[in-house]
Amino acid sequence: MQKSILIIGACGQIGTELTMALREKYGNDSVVASDIREGSENLMRSGPFELLDATNYEAIEDVVMHYEIAEVYLMAAMLSATAEKFPMRAWNLNMNSLFNVLNLAKEKKIDKIFWPSSIAVFGPNTPKNETPQHTLMEPSTVYGISKQSGERWCEYYFKKFGVDVRSVRYPGLISWKTQPGGGTTDYAVEIFHKALSEKKYTSFLNEETKLPMMYMDDAIRATISLMDANNGDLSIRSSYNLGAMSFTPEELAACIQNHIPDFEIRYEPDFRQEIANSWPASVDDAKASQDWGWAPEFDLGKTTEVMLRNLRQ
């Protein structure tokens, strides 16, 4: 029998593309999308959808039982910039949703979990370049604290209860299909939209803020590869570092100018600058390569070309 998959937070930036990729791989009816709001027409029409609050254990359990769900991808979360404005709401959503799925797996109601962590688990005292898998982590944001705590709980549930939970530390994600919402790396998507519509963009991060970034296709491929990997090959049950490219707003603007020569960028750093300053410039993802063969396909040049080509259409 084909396994059934539930995606919680299916209408967000990653969830939307992940749902479509999993439907393509496993068949539309095998992949149940869920969120607290409805999503794009494509997502809503292509397979089953449930309105679901990720903090409501009973509601998730009902959906899991009804569809005989084997795997859950928990993509619902409040991102870094929004979480600074609503710390308690962020903590409640980011932690309780994770406990809900971890406990469902502990009770053997589901077999496997994917839960995303982030480069936000690192902090100002972490080595900035080629940040190691295992290193000093003192996150200084609400979102980072929730993700680091989540990683500790994932590893704990794996070791104590044998829960098969898998995770990657996503960098900033760039996609033309869905907009991000409430993150510090969002500038790297907004800039493409503004470059095409207005030929100018005001960046909320300064010109030299180097951050790890990834094109969405790579992120989706990484997520599905990790979930497909053999259990015994995985040496990390907190969360894997995952790298692809690193650039500053200035470098991204220069790359866009190769396609749109009169594009202009200005810098007006806001509260998100401090968040970005506490994060790595690049990460060492050797463990992900060794354990499950991770290798990125999109660099800055290819990402810029694909983004502009698709947004133009």
Q: Which residues are catalytic?
A: 143
Distance CA 116, CA 237 (A): 12
CB 13 within 8 A of CB 178: yes
Q: Is 172 in the site for ligand AKB (CB under 6 A)?
A: yes
Residue 235 beta carbon to ligand AKB: minimum distance, rounded to whole angstroms: 23
Q: Is 203 in the site for ligand AKB (CB under 6 A)?
A: no
Quickly tell me which residue has 């990683």 as its tokens: 151
Residue 134 beta carbon to ligand AKB: minimum distance, rounded to whole angstroms: 20
CB 66 within 8 A of CB 106: no
Quickly tell me which residue has 């295992």 as its tokens: 134
Q: Is 282 in the site for ligand AKB (CB under 6 A)?
A: no
Which listed residue (80, 97, 239, 282) binds ligand AKB by CB under 6 A?
A: 80
Q: Is 126 in the site for ligand AKB (CB under 6 A)?
A: no
Q: Is 170 in the site for ligand AKB (CB under 6 A)?
A: yes
Q: Is 115 in the site for ligand AKB (CB under 6 A)?
A: no
List the Cα angle 32/83/33 in 5-degree steps: 5
Nearer to ligand AKB, 90 or 256 (CB): 90
Nearer to ligand AKB, 30 or 285 (CB): 285
Residue 184 beta carbon to ligand AKB: minimum distance, rounded to whole angstroms: 4
User: CA nearest 174: which of 212, 138, 213, 136?
Assistant: 213
Q: Is 184 in the site for ligand AKB (CB under 6 A)?
A: yes
Nearer to ligand AKB, 16 or 185 (CB): 185
Q: Is the dihedral of CA 241, 248, 185, 294 positive or negative?
A: negative
Q: Is 128 left (phi over 0), alpha (psi -120 to 50) or beta?
A: alpha
Residue 37 beta carbon to ligand AKB: minimum distance, rounded to whole angstroms: 20
Structure-token pair, residue 79: 């991102």
A 10 A CB-CB count for 303 gives 26
Distance CA 253, CA 39 (A): 31
Residue 190 beta carbon to ligand AKB: minimum distance, rounded to whole angstroms: 12
In DSSP notation, 45-59 reads HHS-EEE--TT-HHH
Interacting stretch for ligand AKB, rule CB under 6 A, among 50-58, 117-125, 230-238, 255-263? 117-125
Quickly tell me which residue has 């149940």 as its tokens: 32
Residue 269 beta carbon to ligand AKB: minimum distance, rounded to whole angstroms: 15
Which listed residue (6, 64, 79, 90) binds ligand AKB by CB under 6 A?
A: 79
Q: Is 30 in the site for ligand AKB (CB under 6 A)?
A: no
Distance CA 213, CA 248 (A): 10
Which listed residue (12, 15, 123, 183) binds ligand AKB by CB under 6 A?
A: 183
Chain positions contacting ligand AKB, by CB under 6 A? 79-80, 118-120, 143, 170, 172, 183-185
